Structures are given as C-alpha cells and as structure tokens.
Amino acid sequence: MDHFKYFLLNEERGYLGHRVNDVLTSIQDLQDDIENLGSRHLSRLAEDIVNQIRKILHSQWAPRSHKHLEELQKIAVAIQKTIDDKGDLREVIPSVMQNLQTLAGQLGVKVNDLQAPEIIPGEDIDQSDFELTGDGEQPPPAEQPPQPGQPPMPQPGPAPMPGQSQPPMPQ
C-alpha cells in the first residue's frame, strides 16, 4: 500500500519529468544535427521545440510543480528571444540543453529504463541465456541446406596465426 501512495503523490512529477525528457530529446537531436542545418531550418526546428514547451506550460499542473515550470518557461523564452533577435542559436542550444538536463535531474525521472541482464563474472554464457526474437524455426546458418543453383558455403576453419598465409579457398 505504501508504494501505491508514493506513486499517487509523485505521479504528476513523473509525468512532467517524461514531458521534459521529450523536450530534452528534441533538443539533443537538434544539437546532433546542428552542423548540417541552415539558419532558417534551425530556426524552424527551434520554434517547434518552443511550441512543445508551450504545450507543457499550458497544461494543468499542481502548484508544487510551478518552480519546474518557471524554469522550463525561462528556457523557452531564451530560445524564442534568440530567434526573434536573429541571434546565434548555435551558441544558445548547448546551454539550453544543459539547463534541460538539470531540470530533468531535479524531477528524478530516468531518461530510459533499459538495463543489461546480470551476468555473474567467471560464469560461462549458455545459449539458453539468450532470448529468441524471431519465430525460432530456422536452423543455424551452418546447418542450412544449400539452395538449388547456389554453391555450398565453405565452413570456417581455425584462424591462421599472424605471419602465416591462409590456405586457398576451394572453388
């Protein structure tokens, strides 16, 4: 019951955190492509990010979220002011990205929840540790029969030692 109460108390904060992470992802994508964009295209994409922030700001939020929303509003104003004054967005984007990362950290929501499987050091990995992603009906490539009209694939042998020449492939 305690976990559910904690969830209810922090649900809005988590939702705001996910929305801020969406904006952060957009700004990081813009930062990655900034060298390949012209000034008009860059301005248009930055305005799209400002509109994305506006949608967040115009939603209904509890009073305890207002300090985070004020920070988000400052970020949007900085971007829009740079666009309106025909300033250099290439200089503003890194600081905006840093402020968004700080805000996302304050909200405490992870950007992604992916985790690698735990492997005990020194223990061998078995085929049963892997998860099938397809239908699992095809045999491994080495066991597949040759298709009609195709020559059989040569089986790989041991790798040659450095300095040794490879034996010729059969034809």
The Cβ of residue 73 has, within 10 Å, a number of other Cβ atoms equal to: 15
- What's the whole-number average pLDDT of the chain? 77
pLDDT at 98: 92
Handedness of CA 29, 35, 41, 47 (dihedral sign): positive
Per-residue pLDDT, averaged over 31-53, amounts to 93
Residue 27 lies inside a defined structural domain of this protein: yes
* Predicted pLDDT at 156: 56
User: Do the domain assignments include residue 165?
Assistant: no
- List pLDDT tens digits, range 84-116: 998 889 999 999 999 999 988 888 766 544 445
The reply to whether 61 falls in a domain is yes
In this predicted structure, the answer to whether residue 12 has a pLDDT above a threshold of 90 is: no
Q: For residue 159, is it within any domain? A: no
- Per-residue confidence (pLDDT) for residue 106, from 0 to 100: 86
Q: What is the mean pLDDT of residues 144-167?
A: 58
Residue 115 is predicted with a pLDDT of 47
Q: Which of 34-38, 94-98, 123-127 has the lowest mean pLDDT?
A: 123-127
CATH code, 9: 1.20.120
pLDDT value at residue 113: 44
Decide if 92 is inside a domain. Answer: yes
| pLDDT band per the 50, 70, 90 thresholds, residue 1 | low
Q: Which residues of 9-34 are buried (b: 16+ CB within 10 A; e: fewer)?
A: eeeebebbbebbbebbebbeebeeee
Q: Does 127 map to a domain?
A: no
**Least confidently predicted of 35-44, 72-81, 118-127, 141-150:** 141-150
pLDDT attached to residue 48: 95
The answer to whether the CB of 76 falls within 8 A of the CB of 57 is yes
- Residue 91, domain extent: 2-107
Residue 66 inside a domain? The answer is yes
Nearest to 68 by CA among 14, 9, 28, 110: 14
Residues 54/76, Cβ–Cβ less than 8 Å? yes
pLDDT of residue 65: 87
How many structural domains are present in the chain?
1
In a domain, 49, yes or no: yes
